[in-house]
Amino acid sequence: MTLRVAVAGASGYAGGEILRLLLHHPEVRIGSLTAAASAGQPLGNFQPHLPQLAQRTLEATTPEVLKGHDVVFLALPHGASAALSADLDDVPLVIDCGADFRLADAEAWARHYDGEHAGTWPYGLPELPGQRELLRTARRIALPGCFPTVVTLALAPLFRAGLARPAVDVVAVTGTSGAGRTLKPHLLGSEVMGSATAYGTAGTHRHTPELRQNLAALAGGPVEVSFTPVLAPMTRGILAVCGVQVRDHATAEDVRTAYAAHTADEPFVRLLPEGRWPTTAAVLGSNAMHLQTGFDEERRRLTAVGAIDNLTKGTAGNAVQCMNIVHRFPEDTGLTTTGVAP
């Protein structure tokens, strides 16, 4: 079965990454490529690393253009997917890379995204308990944010095993591509090179309610989240350092066993050998997440460190992974756990 696939927002970073992966997917034929202000221009003006598609002309992002495809990926700014997807009823599968349908709490969405909540779609993080079964029958999928992807997967084994107290502290370092392609003065090379800065602090980052939502589902009750993202002078990648208190009865062996059991059958989440710590360079361009833990038994505190490529496992790779699940392809079709080095 060959799927005809459209990408809305093909001129952006997420759209370009989806296309890079789809070019290596044996069950996909790439259909319409759309954009907003860039419509009418060749894709090669924006994605020169995709020579196979360089001469394709970007079309306007309209329901008429996107209808007739088997799968539509929406790689659009937050708030743009809701209205568009309402006119795509005839498309069998729509996967939204934005935030429009991630949150179940309408008030949290309105507070962090300054708009009306459009509803909630099945959540596209296959590694969560029971999520693959839910995704197999889904027609609409909301991808997680890049930060919630790595933090949730880093802490899921501990919360699933009932070993964590319900409060976490996260500091996550990220590259500039997470902010998208729109020109912003604080992301200019001269502003970023040789500098690192915290932003979205004190609960203001848009991914904070999503982190609370995910961890609460794993813990079976509310979880306090302190989340501080840090912008670093690199293009892609996230390194998340997650701290949590471990319950009194848990031993270091219990913790390691929980992580080993949770990751053993996951094709894209790799628990590293003890003593080896994740790096963003090792997962560059791959759909892999590297994970490691350290346990301070005296203070009963676990540090879980995860690394992903924010554009691949954090967005586009996860999107293709979800598509594979829905269409019963092997989950790793068109995807790799092999990074690019140096």
Sign of CA dihedral 202, 237, 76, 119: negative
Residue 30: per-residue pLDDT = 98
CATH number of the CATH domain containing 29: 3.40.50.720
144 vs 210: CA distance, rounded Å:
8
- Catalytic site includes residue 322: no
Residue 206: per-residue pLDDT = 84
Q: Residue 182 pLDDT > 80, yes or no?
A: no
Judge if 196 and 303 occupy the same domain.
Answer: yes
Residue 137 CB neighbours (<10 A) = 8
Residue 289: exposed, middle, or buried by beta-carbon count in 10 A (0-12, 13-18, 19+)?
Answer: buried
Total number of domains in the chain: 2
Q: Residue 188 pLDDT > 80, yes or no?
A: no
Tens of pLDDT, residue by residue over 137-175, are: 999 999 999 999 999 999 999 999 999 999 999 999 998
pTM reported for the whole predicted model: 0.94
CATH number of the CATH domain containing 221: 3.30.360.10
- Structure-model confidence comparison of residues 69 and 194, the more confident one: 69
Name the residue range of residue 296's domain.
147-310
E strand spans, the chain:
3-8, 28-35, 59-60, 71-74, 93-96, 140-142, 164-174, 197-198, 224-231, 238-246, 269-271, 289-296, 301-308
Q: Residue 178 pLDDT > 90, yes or no?
A: no
Q: Residue 78 pLDDT > 90, yes or no?
A: no
**Catalytic: which of 97, 146, 242, 322?**
146
Residue 250: per-residue pLDDT = 86
Judge if 289 and 178 occupy the same domain.
Answer: yes
Judge if 210 and 97 occupy the same domain.
Answer: no
Judge if 167 and 211 occupy the same domain.
Answer: yes
